[in-house]
Amino acid sequence: MGRPPYCEKIGVKKGPWTPEEDIILVSYIQEHGPGNWRNVLTNTGLLRCSKSCRLRWTNYLRPGIKRGNFTEHEEKMIIHLQALLGNRWAAIASYLPQRTDNDIKNYWNTYLKKKLDNKKVEGHDDHDHENNHQEGKSSSSSSSSQSKISKGQWERRLQSDIHTAKQALSEALSHDTPSNKPIPDLPEEQQPVQTYTTYASSAVNIAKLLQNWMKNSPKLSSSSSKITQMSLNNNLSISAVSSSSPSEGTVNVATGQGLDSLFSFNSSNNSDVSQSVSVDEGGNFSTPENTNAAIFQVESKPNFPDSKAEYGKFQEENKQNLETQQVPLTLLEKWLLDDANAQTQEDQLIGMALSETADLF
DNA sequence: AATAATCACAACCGCCACAGG
DNA sequence: ACCTGTGGCGGTTGTGATTAT
């Protein structure tokens, strides 16, 4: 009897998002702002459930998301914050505003956790090794087994984990090496391979997806929808018409001229990015390779008279959010990188974390 | 060259909290 | 006080890409 299963509706689409869906969603959010995900379905005709739309936006389409390699600094922060906060990825992500919780979680699960586990095994003959033979199932913070072990055991393990994290952090701090350099302590076969197939920033992604999409479904490109041009040259221009329901799903965006747009995907290394992507009517598509960042500027042409004001308001809010998010980051950065204070403050925070967790019992 | 193993990451699922009726 | 809808979160899975055998 419980709740109906997630998004179980006839006709609700699952799986990877198509560029067309992305554009429709982005267009809708441009006009109405994020939130009210329920309305996205009714207003755009997207065959996606509200949750899926929200996730797509927050994890992928949202402006200001940085993708690809984690910097050494980010890695240190994640290790440190994970030790303090546990697997509270949303909380951790709030200190790294350019990263999504999903990204951080993935990075932790696929790389950092193994790295720390490795250190732990090297450090002492660890009984956890036995427990962790279900590799990938049990977290290094052992949250999954918390209910099965006594308070004392759990605290000891927590402290041990925090100690491990602290060690890793201090080692990382002492070796001021770029992330691509090998980590001295790790055997060669376990060196991090920081060659993420960077799922580049949205514009390029969409462009690439479009390429496949148009190849795979030429019918769509001619009858269901039309994408006549897409170019990225620090400005992006897209003309896309979703003809399934023009009044609802129409996207009609033109080249921004230095617009400080909502959809400016600014990456730290994008200043010299210049690439163009074009799609002709035959579906031929060209884009230079090896670009993983681009500014994605879109000027919308709203359908509603007052939506421009709303859009401006949203733009402003968005800016403010990004600005305010910098504050805790800066403080934390200072805390993390101030060698003189790091140890004492760290201890204080860890103490706080321990006393907080002790309150749970 | 073919196949298996591993990795990286997008997306889904289920649970929970909370607001509004 | 209870019910319902919605959004948020963390865990997990699916899948394409890459690497190893």
Could you tell me the two tokens for A98?
Answer: 């350019």
- Give the CA A333 to C1' C9 distance in Å: 25
A335 touches strand B (CB under 7 A): no
Å from A340 (CA) to B10 (C1')? 41
Mean pLDDT across chain A: 53
Q: Are A270 and A294 in contact (CB under 8 A)?
A: yes
Q: Which residues pair with A252 in a beta bridge?
A: A239
pLDDT tens across A218-257, in order? 343 333 333 333 333 333 333 333 333 333 333 333 333 3
Does this model's pTM top 0.75?
A: no
Hey, is A85 helix, strand or coil?
A: helix
Is 60 exceeded by the pLDDT of residue A181? no
Q: What is the pLDDT at residue A33?
A: 79
Residue A6, CB, strand B, below 7 Å: yes
pLDDT 10s digits, A266-284:
333 333 333 333 333 333 3
Instruction: State the Cα–Cα distance between residues A263 and A258, nearest whole angstrom.
Output: 12
Q: Which residue is nearest to nucleotide C14 (CA to C1')?
A: A15
